[in-house]
Each structure stands twice: as C-alpha cells, then as structure tokens.
C-alpha cells in the first residue's frame, strides 16, 4: 500500500522542531530523515540553527516550499500491512520431552569426582594422554574418540561434563554408539555427535629475545604470525552447534546448562522427524500425482491413436469412393465402345483396390498387405 508524503507538513515539522524529535514519527534516524527531505526537495535548517535560535541570535528565515520536480515515486512510501504471524503449534511428541528437562527433579548435576567413567569418556581420557596438537597448539583427542579440544587445565572438567551428559542421555533412553569415525548419539533415529571446544584469543606473536638475536645475526629463525591464549571457557556443541550449543558465561557455567542443551537437541530431533514425515507426505502426493498424470497421458495417447486411425479410415474411405466414382464414370463414357478383356480386367482390379481401401469392407486382403523381405 502506497502512502504519499505531505511535503508541506514535513517542511513545517523540520523547521519547528529538531530532526531528533521529528525522525521517530517517520520511523527513521536523524540521517534518514535528512536524506528523505533531500529526496523530497525540502530544505532543512542549517547546522547550529537550533543552538543559535535558543541563544536568541539571528537565524535564517523558514524558506518557502518550491514545486517538486523530482521522480514521482519519491513522493510515496511503501508500508507493509501489519500481520500477526501465529506461532506454529508444538508437536505433541516434543511437549513431554521439554517438560521432563525443565522439571526441577531432572536437573543434570555434574559431580566433582567420577568413580566410574563411561566407556566412551574413558576412551577420550586415554586419547588425551597422547593428543593431537592443533594449529593453535591445543591438545585434542584422536578420532574416533569423543571430540575434546581444550587446554590441559580444563581437561578434567571437560571429561566430567561429557561423562555426565552421556550417562544422562542413556538414562533418557538414547543410545550411544561407537562408529569408525566418531561417537554417535542416536535420538529418534537421527545421529548426533558431541564436541567440547575451548576457544582461544589470537594476538600477534611476540618473538623471544633468542629469536630476535638469531634473526639479527642472520641465523635461520622461524616464528608464527599469531599467538593463541586459551580463554578458559568451554563450548559444548552438538553437530558443530547446528543441533545444540551451550557456552560458559560469567553468570551461568556450562554445568548448569546441560538440560538446556538436551532441550535444543530433542527440539532438533523432533523437528527433523516432522520434516521427514512432511517430506514423505509430499513425496506420496507427488507419486500419486505422477501416477494420475501418467494414467491420463496413457488415455490421451490412446485417444490420439484412435483419432489417427479414424482419420486414416475416413481418408481411405474417401479414396475408395473416388476410385469407384471414377470407374463408374469411365464405364459410362465407354458404353458405346466395345469393352475388351483388358478394360474389364482393369475395372475389376480397380474395384478390388477400392474395396481394399474401404474400411467398411471387412476381410478384404490384398498383395499390398504382405510384408515382403528379400533374403540376403
């Protein structure tokens, strides 16, 4: 819906009040209102106008509104109609899962010490004894163990978090399986993988005095461009954060957000299940439409064949009639003449061909019906 600006009203407003007061009425910033006035060819007060006016000093008089000579569309603004979008109803399978995670009695608590490690966590503990060092210099587990990449000072905490989370998942009926590449968490038939990550702060690398000395003396010396400092904050990611993510914050550590993480995962799993079901319904509808269209197409092809046969029969019937009329006319013209054997034979042959062409004559065969193939 297009609404036209009132140029006279806008001129009066910007010369009566500051743009900081007028701009919100048009849902614009100060700069946006000035740009709008420029497009509408409405002069605005110069810089310092309101300060000088407040101080009682002389200011330029309000100019007259000149005739607009710009593009006509600049006089209009588009207003999108306000429509309230109704929230989608929550799937009935998700309601009890979220209610379970939000119940106070189901709060996941990470112990200070673990007496018996989960097998997958224990495998990660072993992997961290001989870790892979990433490009930031941080130790990381090797696949197919659980993906844990944290500084040594956070390894015990990360392992206790993962151990508690895996046990909580199994308590809720979800399976934990070891595949060739990773540890899979199976929720509603969908596979998820867990990653524990500690980000680092990057800063320009400061070479040591020894490195600077080696460089000054022309010796070979190498140092990286960047230095990485662990932040001490843990990130728990499900499917790299696309299915769930919780992060340490000053007021809420990751240990207090495990139920929130499970809420995110089950919401993703139910959503994926709903999408798969809707896709299956859509696929079935497309299959039915394809079958219906194919059946209609077969009927259409049959109709075309019947029509082609009808047109062929009509043309052959017309050809047969033309031949008969011609032979009759030829005979009438030759009444005074004596018909020889050759003429009689020709008339008989012509009528036989007319009968063969005529679709109304049944069981008429002819040499032309034979499919003659010359052997090699």
| Predicted local distance difference test score (pLDDT) of residue 67 | 87
| Predicted local distance difference test score (pLDDT) of residue 171 | 95
| Predicted local distance difference test score (pLDDT) of residue 282 | 94
With 0-12 / 13-18 / 19 or more C-beta atoms within 10 angstroms meaning exposed / middle / buried, residue 324 is middle
Give the bridge partners for 197, in sequence order.
149, 235
Alpha-carbon distance of 90 to 268, in angstroms, equals: 12
Report, as ranges of residue numbers, the positions in the chain whose pLDDT lies below 70. 1-2, 78-86, 335-340
CB distance 192 to 265 below 8 Å = yes
| Predicted local distance difference test score (pLDDT) of residue 66 | 87
| Predicted local distance difference test score (pLDDT) of residue 93 | 92
Q: Are strands 194-197 and 147-149 parallel, antiparallel or unpaired?
A: parallel
pLDDT in tens, 233-260: 999 999 999 999 999 998 899 999 999 9
CB distance 151 to 198 below 8 Å = yes
pLDDT in tens, 135-182: 899 999 998 999 999 999 999 999 999 999 999 999 999 999 998 889
Alpha-carbon distance of 190 to 276, in angstroms, equals: 11
349: Cα separation from own chain's centroid: 74
Q: Are strands 200-204 and 226-230 parallel, antiparallel or unpaired?
A: antiparallel
327: tokens are 């032979």
- Which of these, 34, 42, 32, 31, lies nearest to 6 by C-alpha position? 42
């Amino acid at each position: 819906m297009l609404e036209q600006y009132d140029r006279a009203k806008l001129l009066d407003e910007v010369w009566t009040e500051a743009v900081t007061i007028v701009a919100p009425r048009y849902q614009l910033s100060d700069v946006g209102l000035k740009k709008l006035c420029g497009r509408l060819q409405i002069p605005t007060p110069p810089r310092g106008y309101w300060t000088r006016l407040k101080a009682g000093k002389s200011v330029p008089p309000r100019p007259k509104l000149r005739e607009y000579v710009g593009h006509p569309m600049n006089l209009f603004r588009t207003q999108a109609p306000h429509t309230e979008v109704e929230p989608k109803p929550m799937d009935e399978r998700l309601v009890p899962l979220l209610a379970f995670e939000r119940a106070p009695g189901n709060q996941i608590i990470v112990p200070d010490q673990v007496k018996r490690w989960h097998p997958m966590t224990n495998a990660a503990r072993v992997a961290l004894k001989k870790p892979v060092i990433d490009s930031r210099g941080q130790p990381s587990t090797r696949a197919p163990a659980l993906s844990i990449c944290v500084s040594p000072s956070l390894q015990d905490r990360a392992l206790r978090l993962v151990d508690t989370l895996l046990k909580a998942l199994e308590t809720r009926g979800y399976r934990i399986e070891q595949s060739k590449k990773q540890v899979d968490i199976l929720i509603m038939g969908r596979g998820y993988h867990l990653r524990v990550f500690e980000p680092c702060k990057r800063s320009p690398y400061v070479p040591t005095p020894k490195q600077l000395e080696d460089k000054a003396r022309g010796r070979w010396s190498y140092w990286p461009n960047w230095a990485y400092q662990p932040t001490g904050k843990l990130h728990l990611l499900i499917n790299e954060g696309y299915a769930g993510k919780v992060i340490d914050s000053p007021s809420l550590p990751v240990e207090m957000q495990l139920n929130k993480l499970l809420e995110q995962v089950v919401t993703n799993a139910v959503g994926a299940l709903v999408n798969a079901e809707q896709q299956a319904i859509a696929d079935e509808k497309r299959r039915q439409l394809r079958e219906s269209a194919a059946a209609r197409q077969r009927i259409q092809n049959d109709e075309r064949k019947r029509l082609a046969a009808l047109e062929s029969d009509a043309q052959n019937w017309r050809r047969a009639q033309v031949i008969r009329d011609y032979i009759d006319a030829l005979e009438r013209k030759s009444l005074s003449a004596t018909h020889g054997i050759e003429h009689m034979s020709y008339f008989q042959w012509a009528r036989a061909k007319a009968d063969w062409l005529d679709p109304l004559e049944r069981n008429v065969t002819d040499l032309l019906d034979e499919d003659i193939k010359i052997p090699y």
